[in-house]
Structure formats: C-alpha cells, structure tokens
Chain A
Amino acid sequence: QKEVEQNSGPLSVPEGAIASLNCTYSDRGSQSFFWYRQYSGKSPELIMSIYSNGDKEDGRFTAQLNKASQYVSLLIRDSQPSDSATYLCAVNSGGYQKVTFGIGTKLQVIP
C-alpha cells in the first residue's frame, strides 16, 4: 500500500512568517510530487510540481524534494491570511496513472 503521510495540523503561523509543510511517502519508486492547495469546500488547486531532488521556487513558494529520505516539503514565504487553507501533498509512482494524496495539513496564517 503506497502511503503519503502529512501532519493534519493545524499549523499556525503569523502573517509575514515562513510556513513549512512536510510530507513523507512510502514508495521509493515515486517519481512525481505535487502540492495542491484546497480551500474549505473547494477543489484542489495545483501549486507546485517537483520531479528531481533539490529545490524548486515559484514566487513565494519553494518545493523541496529528497528522494533518499522520501521527503517532500513546501515552504511559503511571507505568509498571508489568504494562504490559510489545507495543503495536500500528492505523489505519483512512475508508470501508473493515479496520484496518491495525503490527508493534508491545515495552515492558519494569523494576521
């Protein structure tokens, strides 16, 4: 059973701080990694994708991947109240169609 683990939170950070969200996965064959943002009652919205070890930056977001440790993280710099949402880590194992999601970490940015 391929698992994606996240702390469900909530993670509370003050406005302007860096939010750090973490995810581990069980399948060493995983090749593609995604972060989705989901507001309450809404659909997942793709924020970042990462495919190789290291960091990938896009605006205020940085995704980090360490395949040896089977660990993915998302950093949100200069957190804003509008960033308050649940962040879903999702993993695809190469050769398969499906993406396996974690439970998501609820982020609360306090003004």
Chain B
Amino acid sequence: EPEVTQTPSHQVTQMGQEVILRCVPISNHLYFYWYRQILGQKVEFLVSFYNNEISEKSEIFDDQFSVERPDGSNFTLKIRSTKLEDSAMYFCASSVEQGGTEAFFGQGTRLTVV
C-alpha cells in the first residue's frame, strides 16, 4: 500500500541551527502539506503546496519556514534558526485533490531543539 515517508524519524538540533525535514508523498498525489503537533496539543496546519507553489499557509508559517519540492518526488520543510518552541512532531501529508479530500500522513519527524 502506498505511503508517505518522512526522514529522519528524529532530529536533534541546537537552537539557532537550520534543519531540513524531508518527505516523499504518495506518487499520484498532487497536494502536499506540513502539519506539526507540539506534545499534548492539537495537530496544527502549517502549509499546503500545489503545482510547485504554496497554496495556503497558517500564521505559524512565518519567514523562519520554507518549503520546496526540489525534484519529482521529495518535498521538504526548512526551518531556519530554530527556536526551543519549534520542538514538535512534524507531519507531512498528501492528497489526491485539495484539502477537502482525504489526506494521508507520514510517520512524522520528531524535532528536538536544545
């Protein structure tokens, strides 16, 4: 069964460093998303990406964040100058159609900023 894969599963970084989280969406999906979940809190939308551009972003997704689809399969989230409060699980998801249809999540990357 096709699945969304994310790497790494766990990343530890020092405050102020840049991190790149990687995702391979399901191959026939056209819409890609990043969500995050701080421990014990809600899953929060960060950004959606379609046709090689951001289609929607939340207020969380500020200039510290960027997304890219560097090739035909990978989808990345870059966090510049990480802060302690960026520590969370980051989930990549993809869907065949826009956000009103079913999105499938990857297993997540646990980011710990120390």
Residues on A facing B (Cβ under 8 Å)? 31-32, 34, 36, 42-46, 49, 51, 88, 90, 92, 94, 96-104
Which of B12-20, B69-77, B79-87, B100-108 sits within the interface?
Answer: B100-108
Complex CA gap A46/B96 in Å reads: 14
Closest to B89 in A: A43
Interface centre among A31, A90, A98 (most CB of B within 10 A): A98
Query: In the assembled complex, which residues on chain A have CB atoms less than 8 Å from the CB atom of B99?
Result: 32, 92, 96-99
Complex CA gap A42/B110 in Å reads: 10
Q: Is the CB of B105 within 8 A of A97?
A: no
Chain B interface residue count, CB cutoff 8 Å, equals: 25
Q: Is the CB of B45 within 8 A of A98?
A: yes
Q: Is the CB of A97 within 8 A of B56?
A: yes
Which of A43, A51, A94 contacts B105, CB < 8 Å?
A43
Closest-CB distance, B91 to chain A (whole angstroms): 6
Q: Is the CB of A44 within 8 A of B48?
A: no
Query: In the assembled complex, which residues on chain B have CB atoms less than 8 Å from the CB atom of A103?
Result: 41-42
Query: In the assembled complex, which residues on chain A have CB atoms less than 8 Å from the CB atom of B106?
Result: 43
